[in-house]
Amino acid sequence: MSNTDAPYCPPPDPNPHPPRFVVPAGAADCHAHVFGPASRYPYQDNRSYTPPDAPLGQLRAMHKTLGIERLVVVAASVHGTNNAPVLDAIATDRKNLRGIATVGADISDKQLAQLRDGGIRGIRVNLVDKGGNPFPSLDALSRISERIRDLDFHIELLVHVESFPELRALAKSVCVPLSVGHIGYTKVAAGGLAHPGYKDFLALLRDGYFWVKLTGPYRISAQERVPYSDVTAMARAAIAAAPDRVVWGSDWPHVMQYKPMPNDGDLLDMLAEWAPEPAQRRLILVDNPARLYGFA
């Protein structure tokens, strides 16, 4: 499908460099997307962007350079509730790949079980981009949580935490773990760490209500280029609030990124600034992902 209102995204940097630190065995990239070819995996008309072709092979080549073994493929809003791109990717390496799907409230229990069998470990609800939220209300989201609990699924939210006052009520109304991407998606220009809504989110983290993904620093930074140092305090605060519920992700291929495209090696190097101790990084890259996504 075509949509002239959905801008085309530039491709990722094709030449990632190795990170400066030793990446532990079993490290996981917990947030990346795959796209294309559009003839096989078409994009819905109701979307916010049009991605470049970004196939699994290119992503895994980047991982080889970075020393990343495991991967969580996350359903993208442009695919709606078509999870074939995620499931087909997982099928290439069932040991090291897991996925996050997008589903509607009308999905059957049989279909949910099939997703589990296909390597899915959670569902995504995108409250930011067009086409990403198939649920009519937070009550409907609470109801789906009851249906996915026995599958050991969690719910991944894409939301600006500081501008979502229902966050605490949602956290208390669902019966499965919740994760939030992009360090909470509160932009530095909106107040960042000082924003009262972000402070509330950190409190929810400390109280055990959320997991958080260290992804997309360029999406919240006021700076044009790496190392996006204005995000460091937020990332460190999130890690301190919930050290055993933090994971890292590349956010490859960095869709809707119109600043200078970052190198994925630089993005992984930022983790060494956020988590200076090797034991911290092992928790974030290996141990926490193994628990959340079921890596053996």
Please tell me the number of Cα atoms within 13 Å of 32 on its side-chain side.
28
| Active-site pick, 13, 29, 251, 269 | 251
Q: How far apart are CA 73 and CA 41, in angstroms?
A: 15
For the sheet with 246-248, list strands across it: 28-32, 70-74, 97-101, 120-126, 154-158, 178-180, 210-214, 246-248
Report CA torsion sign: 62, 64, 67, 71: positive
- Is 251 among the residues known to form the active site? yes
| Contact indicator for 66, 268 with CB cutoff of 8 Å | yes
| Contact indicator for 167, 198 with CB cutoff of 8 Å | no
Q: How far apart are CA 167 and CA 160, in angstroms?
A: 10
Instruction: Just list the catalytic residues.
Output: 251
